[in-house]
Amino acid sequence: MLLAAAAASATMHTTRLPSPRAREMTTNSSATAHAAHKAHAASAESASEFLDDPDLLRDQAYVNGQWVGSATSANTYEVKDPATHVVIAKVPSMGAADTRVAIDAAAAAWNGWRHKTGKERGDVLRRWHDLMQLHMTDLAKILTLENGKPLAESRGEIGYAASFVEFYAEEAKRTYGEVIPSPTPGRRLVTIKQPVGVAALISPWNFPSAMITRKAAPALAAGCPVVIKPAEDTPLSALALAELAERAGVPPGVLNVVTCPRKHAADVGLELSSNRVVRKVSFTGSTAVGKILMRDCASTVKKLSLELGGNAPLLVFDDANLENALNGVIVAKFRNAGQTCVSPNRLLVQAGVYEEFVTRLAERVSELHVGHGLQPGAQVRRP
């Protein structure tokens, strides 16, 4: 399938040999360490030198199959490497009016997309998955540059993100209805599943690729076009995924990405949650923002999927296997610098093992390698 994806990509997109610098970053650890100090480029053009396929680093929004800026303003905002605060790209500063254009494009594309067979939609998703696998290293580098997580974690996330696309590519063909026993003789009750319409997807910064495919893949498989609002800090991963979706054959208007800075986030969120054309909203983020979206969706009775912040203590009792407990704490608390949905807010340790546990935990934490995400062996990103 990867060979087929490569062939498809070559026919739709100019094929480039990896740049010497990109090859060094992939194959040479010392070169990677050196590159880590230079990768915080002052422009998208120089940052793209570190990619096998520089066209994956996009600096425009994606609406109705076109790479565009804001229709109402020439303003942009900066995307920075969080480890160095150096600008790696500037993307359009879009607002509510731009979001309405994307929603209207999705609505116009809905009829054509919904009437494709499940197999046809699944074939497109399968190509998208294969291209993600083919370009995994580049996608991981983009993710690390804008999010900061170590490259090994970024590669893991890209694999995780691709797995959602693969799963729903297969499920697209299995949109089964149901035959229900009737209480009345001679009658039969039949249910069918149909796409609800335009879906608005609002994703967080901590998993900028996986949380998009987790939302977009099932919507696209079901026949729903999507408008994606990525986190303002990490739009480049979303745009790279849109580039690959276009190469995979996703029709214009079926997948749209709107970029906006924090100052426009509330306006864009309100447009997505109150616009009558949008029939489904999916959000991953804070409970406070989830409440606002739920309130604003109520007027049009939209379907909602909310994954909101919670309270996550980790408990260690006297009879615990301390080695297992320590391993669990290190993974849960320090993965992605503690910015995951399963990161514990606090540790509660029973008195009988408290001193030993704290001592051993301090030793384990002191051994973690803190550094830029592109540096070999980095386990925790530099703040």
Q: Which residues have a catalytic role annotated? A: 307, 341
Quote the CA–CA distance of 335 and 366 in Å, as a whole number: 15
Contacts of 285 (CB under 8 A, 6+ apart): 202, 204, 307, 308, 309
Contact yes or no for 70/94 (Cβ under 8 A) = yes
User: Helices H, strands E: what count in the chain?
Assistant: 14, 15
Tell me the three state secondary structure of residue 59.
coil
Contact yes or no for 374/35 (Cβ under 8 A) = yes
Quote the CA–CA distance of 54 and 301 in Å, as a whole number: 42
**The two structure tokens encoding residue 288:** 């406070």
For helices 136-147 and 151-171, the axis angle rounded to 10 degrees is: 120
Contacts of 159 (CB under 8 A, 6+ apart): 133, 136
- Cα-based angle 178, 297, 263 (whole degrees, multiple of 5): 135
Over the range 342-380, which residues count as b (16 or more CB within 10 Å of their CB) and which as e? ebbeebebeeebeeebeebbeeeeeeeeebbbbbbebbb
- The DSSP code sequence of 314-377 is EEE-TTS-HHHHHHHHHHHHHGGGG-STT--SEEEE-HHHHHHHHHHHHHHHHTS-EE-TTSTT
Contact yes or no for 167/128 (Cβ under 8 A) = no
Quote the CA–CA distance of 207 and 217 in Å, as a whole number: 15
Of 85, 61, 87, 88, which Cα lies nearest the Cα of 73?
61
Quote the CA–CA distance of 214 and 304 in Å, as a whole number: 15
Quote the CA–CA distance of 181 and 325 in Å, as a whole number: 51
